[in-house]
C-alpha cells in the first residue's frame, strides 16, 4: 500500500516538471520594484547643478563678428550708423543718378559718407572692435568711396567752374555783362587762357562738352574776325555824322552843327561806346585812330556848346523863323466879314489884330448824302496874347444850310494858333 502511494507521487512530480518546461515561458515574471535610495537622488541633483554651472555665457556678437542687434548698445548704434550710410553712399555712387545728376548725387553721397565716418570713428576707438574683420571691411570700403567721391567731386566742381567762366565770357561779349564775383580776366587773353587751362586739366570733359565747344567756336571767331567788323562799322557811322554836321543848310546858309551840336555830340558818344575796348582787340590800330577822330569832333562840339554859341545860334535861328512868318495871301476883301473876325473876344485876353480872307468864294461843305451842311470862308489871322506875343492863326466864317437852297446868317469861328510871328510883320 505504501509502495503504491510512493509510485503515484513520483509519477505526479514527473508530470508537473514536464508541464512547466513546456509552458513556463508564458507566465510573466513579476517586476522587481525600483528602489531609489536617498544617496542616489542627491547624486543626481549634484550632477544637474554642475551641468548648469558649466554652460557658456551668451555672446553679444553674430557669427561674422558684427554686433548683435541691441538698440540700446552704443557699439551697435555706431555699427548700424556706419553700415547703413556706407550702403546708401555706395548705392548712390553706383546708381544712375551719379551719371544723370552728378551735382545732387555727389552732395548726397558726401552727406552719407560724413555720417558713416561718425560711426566709424566711434568703432575705431573701441579696443573690442578694432580687430574685427567687419570693421576692417567698413574702413576699406569707406576709404575707397570717400576717395572716389572727393576726387570726382573735385573734378566735377572744376569742370563746372570752367564752364561757368566760359559762359561769363560769352555774356560779356553778347550783352556787355561783367560779373564782379566771377573773378576772371575779362579780356581776349583771359578767354584763351581759360580755354587752354580747361583743355590741359580736363581734356576729356572739354572735348565732350558741346556747349563749351559752341561757345569757344563763337568767341574765337569774334576775337579774330567780328570784333574788327564792329570797328569798321563804327568808323563808317562816324564819317557819315562828320559829313552831315559840316554840311550847310541851303535855306539858312550855316553848318548843321551850329544848330544841332548837342544832337551830334550825343551820336558821337553813342558810337564811342560801340567801339570795342582794348581788352577785346589784339590789334588796336584802327580803333585808336577812330577814337582820336571822334574825340577831335566832340571836343569842338563841347566848346561850341559850353561857350554859349549854340544857345545864341538857336535863338537867332528861332527869331529868323519867327521873322519869316507872314499871313497868307488875300483871296477876297469884305470889310463886314473882316470886322466880324476883328470883333471876336477871348476870355484869356487874346486880341485879333488883322484878319485876311484867303478864300476867293464860299466853299460848300456837304454830308455823306451829298446834301449841303454849310458853306465857309477861311481866314488867315494875326493874334496878340496878353503878354504881347503875336501869333499866326486861322479862322472860319460859316453859314449853316437851312434847306430850300437857303443859308443862315454868317458866324465867325476861331480855329487855332499856328505859329509865333513878329508883331512888326502883321501887315506885311
Residue 109, H or E segment: helix 102-124
- CA torsion sign, 419 to 420 to 422 to 423? positive
Q: What is the mean pLDDT of the chain?
A: 86
Pairing of strands 411-421, 363-366: unpaired
Comparison of pLDDT for 250 and 58, the residue scoring more: 250
Window from 26-30, 58-62, 194-198, 234-238 with minimum mean pLDDT? 26-30
Q: What CA–CA distance (Å, rounded) separates 172 from 345?
A: 66
Q: What CA–CA distance (Å, rounded) separates 407 from 403?
A: 7
Question: Measuring CA to CA, which residue among 359, 368, 371 is closest to residue 410?
Answer: 359
Over range 128-142, report the average pLDDT: 91
Contact 322, 295 (CB under 8 A): no
For residue 226, pLDDT over 90 is answered with yes
Q: What is the pLDDT of residue 154?
A: 84
Question: Measuring CA to CA, which residue among 313, 318, 338, 343 is closest to residue 327?
Answer: 338
Comparison of pLDDT for 14 and 393, the residue scoring more: 393
Q: What is the pLDDT of residue 17?
A: 46
Specify the pTM.
Answer: 0.58
Most confident of 98-107, 154-163, 398-407: 398-407
Q: What CA–CA distance (Å, rounded) separates 142 from 126?
A: 18
Q: What phi-psi label fits residue 327: left (phi over 0), alpha (psi between -120 and 50 degrees) or beta? A: beta
Q: Cβ atoms within 10 A of the Cβ of 35, count?
A: 6
Q: What CA–CA distance (Å, rounded) separates 70 from 77?
A: 8
* 372 pLDDT tier (thresholds 50, 70, 90): very high
Over range 50-72, report the average pLDDT: 73
Q: What is the pLDDT of residues 169-209, one digit of tens each?
A: 999 999 988 877 778 999 999 999 999 999 999 999 999 99
* Segments in 176-226 forming alpha helices (H): 188-201, 203-208, 210-221
Q: What CA–CA distance (Å, rounded) separates 124 from 137?
A: 12
* 153 pLDDT tier (thresholds 50, 70, 90): confident
Q: What CA–CA distance (Å, rounded) separates 395 from 415?
A: 5
Q: What is the pLDDT of residues 208-224, one digit of tens each?
A: 999 999 999 999 999 99
Length of the chain: 428
* Segments in 55-202 forming alpha helices (H): 74-93, 97-100, 102-124, 127-130, 133-175, 188-201
Q: What is the pLDDT of residue 126?
A: 93
> Cβ neighbours of residue 132 under 8 Å, at least 6 residues apart?
65, 66
Q: What's the grid cell of residue 379? A: 481866314
- CA torsion sign, 159 to 161 to 164 to 166? negative
Buried b (16+ CB within 10 A) or exposed e, 270-288: ebeeebbeeebbeeeeebe
Q: What is the pLDDT of residues 327-361, one digit of tens each?
A: 999 999 999 999 999 999 999 999 999 999 999 99
Q: What CA–CA distance (Å, rounded) separates 395 from 357?
A: 9
Q: What is the pLDDT of residue 58?
A: 58
Q: What's the grid cell of residue 104? A: 545732387
Q: What is the pLDDT of residues 289-323, one digit of tens each?
A: 999 999 999 999 999 999 999 999 889 889 989 99
Q: What's the grid cell of residue 290? A: 577812330
* 251 pLDDT tier (thresholds 50, 70, 90): low
Window from 39-53, 170-184, 368-382 with minimum mean pLDDT? 39-53
CA 321 to chain centre: 55
Distance from first CA to last CA of the chain, Å, rounded?
215
With residues binned 3-state (H G I as helix, E B as strand, rest as coil), the percentages for the chain, rounded to 5, are 60, 15, 25
Contact 428, 325 (CB under 8 A): no
Q: What is the pLDDT of residue 152?
A: 83
For residue 19, pLDDT over 50 is answered with no
Q: What is the pLDDT of residue 40?
A: 44
Question: Measuring CA to CA, which residue among 170, 80, 179 is closest to residue 120?
Answer: 80
Q: What is the pLDDT of residues 388-427, one digit of tens each?
A: 999 999 999 999 999 988 999 999 999 889 999 999 999 9
Q: What's the grid cell of residue 400? A: 449853316
Q: What's the grid cell of residue 284? A: 588796336
Residue 406, H or E segment: strand 406-407
Q: What CA–CA distance (Å, rounded) separates 366 from 354?
A: 29
Window from 24-28, 161-165, 198-202 with minimum mean pLDDT? 24-28
For residue 51, pLDDT over 70 is answered with no
Q: What phi-psi label fits residue 392: left (phi over 0), alpha (psi between -120 and 50 degrees) or beta? A: beta
Provide the percentage of residues in the chain whose pLDDT is more than 90. 69
Q: What is the pLDDT of residue 102?
A: 80
Comparison of pLDDT for 40 and 408, the residue scoring more: 408
Q: What CA–CA distance (Å, rounded) separates 335 from 338?
A: 5
Q: What is the pLDDT of residue 298?
A: 96
Amino acid at each position: 500500500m505504501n509502495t503504491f502511494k510512493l509510485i503515484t507521487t513520483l509519477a505526479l512530480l514527473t508530470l508537473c516538471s514536464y508541464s512547466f518546461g513546456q509552458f513556463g515561458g508564458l507566465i510573466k515574471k513579476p517586476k522587481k520594484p525600483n528602489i531609489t535610495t536617498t544617496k542616489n537622488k542627491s547624486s543626481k541633483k549634484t550632477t544637474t547643478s554642475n551641468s548648469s554651472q558649466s554652460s557658456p555665457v551668451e555672446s553679444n556678437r553674430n557669427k561674422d563678428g558684427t554686433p548683435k542687434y541691441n538698440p540700446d548698445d552704443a557699439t551697435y548704434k555706431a555699427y548700424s550708423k556706419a553700415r547703413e550710410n556706407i550702403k546708401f553712399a555706395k548705392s548712390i555712387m553706383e546708381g544712375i543718378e551719379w551719371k544723370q545728376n552728378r551735382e545732387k548725387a555727389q552732395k548726397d553721397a558726401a552727406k552719407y559718407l560724413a555720417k558713416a565716418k561718425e560711426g566709424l570713428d566711434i568703432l575705431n576707438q573701441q579696443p573690442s572692435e578694432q580687430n574685427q574683420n567687419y570693421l576692417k571691411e567698413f574702413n576699406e570700403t569707406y576709404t575707397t568711396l570717400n576717395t572716389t567721391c572727393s576726387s570726382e567731386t573735385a573734378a566735377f566742381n572744376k569742370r563746372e567752374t570752367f564752364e561757368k567762366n566760359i559762359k561769363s565770357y560769352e555774356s560779356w561779349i553778347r550783352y556787355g555783362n561783367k560779373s564782379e564775383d566771377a573773378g576772371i580776366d575779362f579780356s581776349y587773353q583771359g578767354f584763351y587762357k581759360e580755354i587752354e587751362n580747361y583743355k590741359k586739366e580736363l581734356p576729356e570733359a572739354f572735348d565732350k562738352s558741346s556747349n563749351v565747344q559752341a561757345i569757344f567756336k563763337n568767341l574765337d571767331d569774334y576775337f579774330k574776325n567780328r570784333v574788327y567788323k564792329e570797328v569798321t562799322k563804327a568808323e563808317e557811322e562816324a564819317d557819315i555824322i562828320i559829313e552831315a554836321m559840316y554840311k550847310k543848310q541851303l535855306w539858312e546858309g550855316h553848318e548843321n552843327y551850329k544848330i544841332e551840336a548837342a544832337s551830334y555830340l550825343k551820336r558821337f558818344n553813342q558810337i564811342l561806346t560801340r567801339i570795342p575796348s582794348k581788352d577785346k582787340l589784339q590789334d588796336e590800330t584802327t580803333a585808336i585812330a577812330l577814337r582820336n577822330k571822334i574825340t577831335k569832333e566832340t571836343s569842338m562840339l563841347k566848346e561850341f556848346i559850353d561857350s554859349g554859341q549854340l544857345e545864341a545860334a538857336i535863338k537867332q535861328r528861332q527869331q529868323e523863323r519867327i521873322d519869316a512868318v507872314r499871313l497868307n495871301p488875300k483871296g477876297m476883301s469884305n470889310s463886314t466879314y473882316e470886322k466880324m473876325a476883328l470883333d471876336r473876344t477871348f476870355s484869356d485876353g487874346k486880341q485879333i489884330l488883322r484878319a485876311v480872307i484867303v478864300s476867293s468864294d464860299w466853299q460848300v461843305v456837304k454830308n455823306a448824302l451829298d446834301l449841303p451842311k454849310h458853306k465857309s470862308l477861311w481866314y488867315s489871322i494875326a493874334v496878340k496874347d496878353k503878354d504881347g506875343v503875336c501869333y499866326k492863326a486861322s479862322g472860319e466864317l460859316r453859314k449853316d444850310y437851312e434847306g430850300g437852297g437857303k443859308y443862315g446868317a454868317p458866324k465867325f469861328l476861331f480855329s487855332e494858333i499856328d505859329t509865333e510871328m513878329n508883331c512888326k510883320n502883321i501887315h506885311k
